[in-house]
């Protein structure tokens, strides 16, 4: 930083220490052959930097927004599956539910669901109630729909 003692009089040039390092690291042009730096050039450089930074920032924010939408969709899917699994666990079942076994879901009417170990084929394709689907109970107590 310059001090008052670096100037002998108002008309005297700066008498302090000049940049001693490599010309490439100087904060100002050190050669007479260097192009003149104008205030307009500096303003243009700053404007271009601002534009580039804004562009990069917008692209990163767009990516984050897409990731958020994807995570919201995944969360919605997980909640929907959990709701279905809870509904299936509330269906009547006359036997103990065992992990890895397949159970057949029927509707008695009025949305009264029950599980049976008998498939529609065991009923010779004429079950006593409306068949809703086949499900396997998984280790994590979720249900996987079985499509034949």
Share of the chain above pLDDT 90, in %: 64
Burial label, 123 (beta-carbon count in 10 A; 0-12, 13-18, 19+): middle
The pLDDT value recorded for residue 13 is 62
Pick the residue with more confidence: 27 or 47? Answer: 47
> pLDDT exceeding 70 applies to what percent of the chain?
80
Quote the pLDDT of residue 113: 94
Model pLDDT, residue 49 = 94
**Token digits for 43?**
């303003």
* pLDDT bucket at 58, cuts 50 / 70 / 90: very high
Instruction: Find the helix or strand (DSSP H, E) in which 80 lies.
Output: helix 39-89
Residues 6+ apart with CB under 8 A from 136: 100, 101, 102, 103, 143, 144, 146
pLDDT at 35 over 70: no
Residue whose tokens read 């949305």: 111
Query: What are the residue ranges spanned by the domains of the chain?
Result: 38-90, 91-146
Tell me the average pLDDT across 93-117: 93
Average pLDDT of span 89-115: 93
Query: Residues 71-99: pLDDT tens digits?
Result: 999 999 999 999 999 999 999 999 999 99
Supply 57's token pair: 């920032």
What pLDDT score does 107 carry?
94
């Amino acid at each position: 930083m310059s001090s008052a003692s670096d100037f002998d009089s108002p008309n005297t040039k700066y008498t302090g220490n000049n940049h001693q390092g490599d010309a490439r690291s100087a904060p100002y042009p050190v050669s007479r052959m260097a192009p003149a730096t104008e205030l307009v050039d500096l303003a243009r450089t700053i404007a271009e930097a601002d534009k580039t930074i804004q562009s990069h920032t917008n692209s990163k924010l767009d990516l984050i927004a897409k990731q958020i939408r994807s995570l919201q969709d995944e969360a919605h899917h997980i909640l929907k599956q959990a709701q279905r699994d809870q509904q299936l666990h509330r269906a009547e079942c006359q036997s103990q539910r065992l992990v890895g076994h397949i159970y057949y879901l029927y509707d008695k009417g009025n949305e009264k669901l029950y599980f049976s170990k008998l498939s529609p084929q065991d009923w010779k394709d004429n079950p006593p109630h409306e068949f809703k689907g086949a499900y396997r109970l998984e280790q994590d107590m979720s249900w996987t729909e079985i499509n034949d």
